[in-house]
């Protein structure tokens, strides 16, 4: 009987040892995350090249005709271009807005063309981005797209021609300042 009890205990012990010998295995997954880069830059003259103008008043435009000595119905022209810099990793949608100040701001209107080349004068042609007659206090006047560059190359620029017309009510000796904002918003590559 003692042998039977010992034999039973031995069988239970072996059974317990087998139950305790379970295998374990795990799988892990890791995701690495980082933010891309995004930077819009502008060009006001060929000589100046592209650079940042992140706060108002921004880049001083090089108007073809003297903009500080306007008479009613005068028209002045200035080229400007925007692009995404070489470090940018996303396309962009640009929203063009303008603000104005000074007694003559109500006597100015503008038009914006997109052009093939960086040029802007009375003979310049292009696609109308903002129709003639826009007032210098227009929020969200137009939008357009910019593409990121490939590799470490800046994106292709969008050349613009800003055309400002002095109205018949231009106040003699008074001034005005117009600031155009090109607000860039990134477009996700993950959509």
With a cut of 80, say whether residue 189 has pLDDT above it: no
Q: Which residues contact residue 3 at a Cβ distance below 8 angstroms, ignoring those fewer than 6 apart?
A: none
What's residue 136's pLDDT? 85
pTM value is 0.79
Alpha carbon distance 19, 26 (integer Å): 20
With a cut of 90, say whether residue 118 has pLDDT above it: yes
Residues 72-117 have pLDDT tens digits of: 999 999 999 999 999 999 999 999 999 888 999 999 999 999 999 9
Beta strands in the chain (DSSP E): 40-43, 75-84, 91-101, 108-115, 127-134, 142-146, 158-166, 177-187
What's residue 22's pLDDT? 73
Neighbours of 98 (CB within 10 A): 20
CA-to-CA separations, 142 to 16, 53, 135, 165, 170, in angstroms, rounded? 78, 20, 13, 19, 26
For residues 3-24, average pLDDT:
53
The residue ranges of every structural domain in the chain are 73-187
Question: 73-187 architecture in CATH?
Answer: Sandwich (2.60)
Q: Retrieve residue 157's tokens.
A: 């620029």
């Amino acid at each position: 009987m003692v042998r039977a009890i010992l034999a039973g205990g031995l069988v239970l012990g072996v059974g317990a040892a087998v139950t305790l010998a379970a295998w374990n295995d795990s799988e892990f997954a890791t995701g690495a995350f980082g933010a891309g880069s995004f930077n819009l830059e502008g060009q006001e003259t060929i000589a100046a090249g592209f650079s940042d103008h992140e706060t108002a008043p921004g880049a001083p435009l090089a108007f073809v005709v003297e903009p500080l000595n306007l008479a009613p119905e005068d028209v002045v022209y200035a080229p400007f271009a925007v692009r995404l810099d070489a470090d940018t990793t996303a396309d962009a949608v640009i929203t063009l807005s303008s603000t104005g100040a000074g007694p003559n701001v109500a006597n100015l209107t503008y038009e914006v063309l997109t052009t093939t080349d960086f040029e802007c004068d009375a003979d310049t042609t292009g696609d109308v981005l903002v129709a003639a007659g826009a007032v210098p206090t227009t929020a969200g006047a137009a939008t357009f797209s910019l593409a990121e560059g490939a590799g470490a190359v800046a994106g292709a620029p969008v050349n613009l021609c800003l055309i400002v017309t002095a109205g018949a009510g231009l106040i003699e000796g008074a001034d005005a300042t117009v600031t155009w904002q090109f607000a860039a918003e990134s477009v996700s590559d993950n959509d």
